[in-house]
Amino acid sequence: MSLSWNDLTCTPDKAAIDALAEAWRWRIGDAFTPLVFTALGDMFYEADEGGVYWLNTGTAEVERVADDIDDFNARLREDVAEDWLLPPLVEALIDAGKTRADGECYTYVTLPIFAEGEYSVENLHAVPAREHFELTGSILHQLQDVPDGTTVNIDVTH
């Protein structure tokens, strides 16, 4: 199977992007321009102060990945894109029948910040991007100051 760019990325609508901006403000601030959303709900964005960053919505990690958009686009054509977009995992999800509709991305049953949170077919399912952004942003914000190894119980209500 040959994956397309659309298989590896997500195109959230304005409401979903607004939800991301609100849910993740605590981590990325207000001054950013989204560039690419991955199938796994991560975002690459250009910061107003310069540089291209990767927001990993499964771990709340933010990493500077390029100096500018041209540098970012060049890096997307290199092996590093394998780490950013996880094509083998996306292909396995599609092969398992876990496909996404427009505006959807994959989200985790158990977030990767937890010992049980694996990047696996069994731990991922498709949801509207807005739901993914709101849920991951809220949970990870609440856990940001919890020391590693702490036992937590999480109640998720809709």
Residue 57 lies in a domain: yes
Question: Domains in the chain: how many in total?
Answer: 1
N-term to C-term CA, the chain: 37
Residue 72 lies in a domain: yes
Residue 153 lies in a domain: no
Which pTM was predicted? 0.91
CB 81 within 8 A of CB 8: no
- Return the C-alpha torsion angle 42, 47, 53, 59, nearest 10: -50
Residue 2: predicted pLDDT: 84
Cα distances (Å, whole numbers) of residue 118 to 79, 89, 123: 22, 11, 6
* pLDDT tens per residue across span 82-135: 999 999 999 999 999 999 999 999 999 999 998 889 999 999 999 999 999 999
Residue 88 lies in a domain: yes
Has residue 22 got a pLDDT over 60? yes
Residue 66 lies in a domain: yes
Sheet holding 52-56, edge to edge: 9-10, 32-38, 43-47, 52-56, 61-66
* pLDDT tens per residue across span 24-54: 999 999 989 999 999 999 999 999 999 999 9
Domain region containing 94: 5-143
